[in-house]
Structure 1
């Protein structure tokens, strides 16, 4: 009888396993999507999504990636080259244009037979207007939205958990989320216990020097929210109603911010020889400081307190579109409240992240400052 029971159990096991492969995932936009997991063939709607893929598939970050958008090399050339040196096969992965700019090739995507396409929420409107979701559904390709950009401080943990489910790496995703939250708490817990905290007014310039225009910034999310979490007052919060927007030079002069933080990266492929500040892995700190100082000679910044006191800093732009924002929160807190966070080292935190979760070695250069000692 025991043998018969075992036979019955063996007979039903394949059915159970097959049924368990189909799950319903609620993505960041609230859509319920049916996906067969773990996914083995993935199209990344943005090349910089490798930042989360690498944290989950650490040993083989490209093993599931059959296609990706062509932005990683252009937006983060230094980071791209670091990954390329260790994983040369990534150069052969087919690339796409973006759904948002209408250059996504749906026929190419279908030909690659992905199990899922992972898109940023910023592309949602364009994706819906073009009917991509319905077209993909007809050929059995689900599309899942995640978000590390529009509301990253709200959606990063859930996005990592969603990707963990898709990849069959739920425990790994939870481990990352735990580390992420603990590192932010090192800042927020201390601030909550600090009485009579003076919050400096901070102007965050998005991609300063990328173009001649002045000045792109952040409203109440992304780097704007990071400033608030780090114990500052985001100057543009009351000017920009959403996540992204622009302030004019007169508004900067009138606000007279105590601190200025400029986001930058190696954008040589976008704007060759541009005035942007090339912070990032392995960046030349002296060159970054030189370019940062040059940006402060523009009319919007000459004479403001931040420039006069040297409280001007540069930070890696890609923190705005990755699950690594907690590193930025720590560094901003250190700039705004150096005495309160004297024992906090964002470089050490980022190095720890690399050692625990990422397949490439940490290479400092993500921050620069005109303030002596910072």
Structure 2
């Protein structure tokens, strides 16, 4: 019997390596809660504990962000119907993906999740308490399914970068994750460097969360999320000393007494949640004329009676989902432009968002994410 020479053996090795799929390697991932979790990477099957996690998965895989998704929470079609429709048009098979309820509201189906045999379940950190109380981590561990926490909502300015790195490791997209992180940091520096150099006065800003979503007034942000974005953009967040955590409420009397210089309302197309509601429908390809009308309508509420921001026309609306994805740097640029128009005449948040889409995202860019009473 003749044995193949070294060159033939090498050729055979190359052939096998190109034909057989790469074997996943166990890696210990440290999630945003500090837990060390062993996961076989790159993962081939992932369950998204929130549908809106596709925002950052898309930033890591421009060609097909759904390729390895075997199930996801059912929130995206209602929370952001325009983006869902755009993804559905490009990837029609997502209509067949199994969907889950939320962990926090107790409608997550762990038996269904186990049946899908995921390599990892990705969960937002705000579901941590509910997850632990239900004993899901231990139950999943018994069948060899790891759960990893990420965060783009509770402390996004602190946890976005590590969350993107975690996702890059899980999906085998480490280089893309680092490129995105660099792009994000450079976009934020275009704001913070100018502010540091010029030290302008900081206007007082009331940041209203989901204005018009309900009749109650008014939800806002403490010293994180949009509250921190306001500070990074050169403003003073009115609610930072009123709300101890990330989210909370302020009463109308506090707004009137504080007399903010600027008001920024977060909005979205929430017909699926609150049909015919007073929310401001900004977002992917939104009707800005209609959004402007609804924004103006919100200024007539008692909480805004006679305040400086309304008198001066410094009332704006911005896409709510910036609070829950890694694209917050676009929001920081836009807020800076509203707060300091003279300093940031040359800053173009729209161009930044277009570049993000062109470089990282599978969807073509459509405007509609911002509106101001000053827009004509």
Give the TM-score normalised by structure 2: 0.94
Q: What aligned pairs does 1:13-32 form with structure 2 within 5 A after superposition?
A: 21-32=25-36
Aligned match of 1:343 in 329, 339, 346? 346
1:318-346 Cα shifts (integer Å, max 9, x gaps): 00000000000000000000000000111
| 3-state SS of paired residue (1:117) | strand
- What's the offset of the Cα at 1:27? 0.4
1:303-328 Cα shifts (integer Å, max 9, x gaps): 00001110000000000000000000
CA distance in 2, matches of 1:92, 1:277: 31
**Residue 130 of structure 1 pairs with residue 149 of structure 2:** no
**Residue 297 of structure 1 pairs with residue 289 of structure 2:** no
CA distance in 2, matches of 1:172, 1:129: 35
Aligned length: 363
Match of 2:87 in 1: 83
| 3-state SS of paired residue (1:314) | strand
**Residue 317 of structure 1 pairs with residue 339 of structure 2:** no
Aligned match of 1:352 in 355, 359, 366? 355
| 3-state SS of paired residue (2:215) | coil
Aligned match of 2:125 in 121, 128, 132? 121
**Residue 268 of structure 1 pairs with residue 271 of structure 2:** yes
Q: What aligned pairs does 1:80-229 form with structure 2 within 5 A after superposition?
A: 80-195=84-199, 197-229=200-232
Aligned match of 1:259 in 251, 257, 262? 262
Unaligned runs of 5+ in 2: none
Unaligned runs of 5+ in 1: none
CA distance in 2, matches of 1:70, 1:372: 35
CA distance in 2, matches of 1:90, 1:274: 28
CA distance in 2, matches of 1:79, 1:264: 14
- What's the offset of the Cα at 1:78? 1.0
CA distance in 2, matches of 1:47, 1:217: 23
| 3-state SS of paired residue (1:282) | coil
CA distance in 2, matches of 1:43, 1:98: 12
- What's the offset of the Cα at 1:372? 4.3
- What's the offset of the Cα at 1:281? 1.0
CA distance in 2, matches of 1:58, 1:203: 36
CA distance in 1, matches of 2:193, 2:233: 11
**Residue 250 of structure 1 pairs with residue 247 of structure 2:** no
**Residue 48 of structure 1 pairs with residue 49 of structure 2:** no
CA distance in 1, matches of 2:156, 2:193: 20
CA distance in 2, matches of 1:117, 1:43: 5
In terms of mean alpha carbon deviation, does 75-84 or 161-170 score higher?
A: 75-84
1:45-102 Cα shifts (integer Å, max 9, x gaps): 0000000111111101110110000000010011111111111111111100011111
Over the residues paired in the alignment, what is the CA RMSD in angstroms?
1.6
Give the TM-score normalised by structure 1: 0.95
